[in-house]
């Protein structure tokens, strides 16, 4: 008996040590399980929050699409209403602005528009914004900013948009290549009278900014060649906004009263 007692004590100690290790492993597994559950919960929350954000943005986009386009008259429609950040074109200053009310307007008619004014009113008939567009040629699209750089209101999508003024070009647009040769560089336009007659009236060249086939701004810029050009004469005029990579020349006039 005396010889077996130490053996029993050693066996009991080993068993207790084994049980302690087993309990430790169990506690470790529980901790790992809690960690994994916490991580899974965090992932689920993140997915839900992200899903709600995506759904909110999708719903907002769908609401905007449901209200667009707005068909006005004479083949003119508003394709999009949004806020704009960037240079303010409409007054020629190019000053930096943020959240300015912008319309994307399409002319689906077969007539070139000389001047177009669109007004936006709320449900009470109060005028909230005015948009002025010059030289909107047939089939073209323009992104026009609110004339006074008004920020886009929250109810812009539900406003009533209507045409207040509309005038078409009286004559067909032309560069009159039978009389003039035109060449361009950064901020410079060169014009040569290649005809045999003296042009005594002021000559005007009209141009607009354009990006991805969309006209930028309701404004149309023009360059004046005062006093015309004699036969064979050429002259260069500097213009602040002209860039051959981002601008398109729309037409040229040299007869008194044409398009003016």
pLDDT in tens, 57-100: 544 454 444 478 999 988 999 999 999 999 999 999 999 999 99
CA distance 160 to 62: 19
Q: Model confidence at 35, in pLDDT bands (50, 70, 90)?
A: low
Written as six digits, the tokens of 141 are 């699209």
**H/E element, 7:** helix 5-67
pLDDT, tens digit (0-9, with 9 covering 90-100), for 202-254: 999 999 999 999 999 999 999 999 999 999 999 999 998 999 999 999 999 99
Least confident range from 37-46, 106-115, 129-138, 204-213: namely 37-46
Region 178-189: what's the mean pLDDT?
95
CA distance 241 to 186: 9
Residue 256 is predicted with a pLDDT of: 73
Q: Provide the 3-class DSSP secondary structure of residue 209.
A: strand
Q: Provide the 3-class DSSP secondary structure of residue 200.
A: coil
Q: Where are the domains positioned within the chain?
A: 1-67, 70-168, 180-253
CATH topology of domain 70-168: Immunoglobulin-like (2.60.40)
């Amino acid at each position: 008996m005396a010889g077996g007692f130490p053996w029993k004590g050693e066996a009991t100690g080993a068993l207790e040590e084994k049980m302690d290790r087993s309990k430790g492993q169990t506690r470790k597994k529980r901790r790992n399980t809690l960690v994994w559950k916490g991580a899974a919960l965090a992932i689920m929350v993140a997915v839900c929050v992200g899903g709600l954000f995506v759904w909110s943005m999708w719903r907002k986009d769908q609401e905007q699409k449901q209200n667009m386009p707005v068909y006005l008259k004479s083949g003119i429609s508003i394709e999009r209403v949004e806020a704009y950040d960037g240079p303010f074109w409409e007054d020629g200053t190019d000053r930096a602005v943020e959240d300015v009310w912008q319309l994307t307007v399409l002319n689906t008619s077969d007539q070139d528009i000389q001047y177009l004014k669109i007004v936006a009113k709320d449900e009470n008939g109060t005028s909230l914004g005015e948009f002025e567009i010059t030289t909107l040629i047939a089939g073209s699209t323009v992104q026009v900013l609110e004339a006074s750089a008004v920020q886009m209101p929250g109810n812009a999508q539900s406003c009533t948009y209507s045409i207040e003024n509309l005038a078409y070009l009286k004559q067909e647009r032309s560069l009159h290549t039978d009389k003039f040769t035109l060449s361009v560089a950064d901020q410079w336009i060169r014009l040569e009278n290649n005809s045999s007659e003296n042009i005594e009236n002021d000559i005007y060249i009209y141009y607009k900014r354009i990006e991805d086939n969309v006209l930028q701004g309701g404004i149309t810029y023009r360059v004046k060649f005062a006093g015309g050009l004699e036969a064979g004469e050429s002259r260069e005029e500097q213009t602040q906004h002209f860039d051959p990579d981002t601008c398109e020349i729309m037409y040229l006039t040299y007869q008194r009263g044409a398009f003016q």
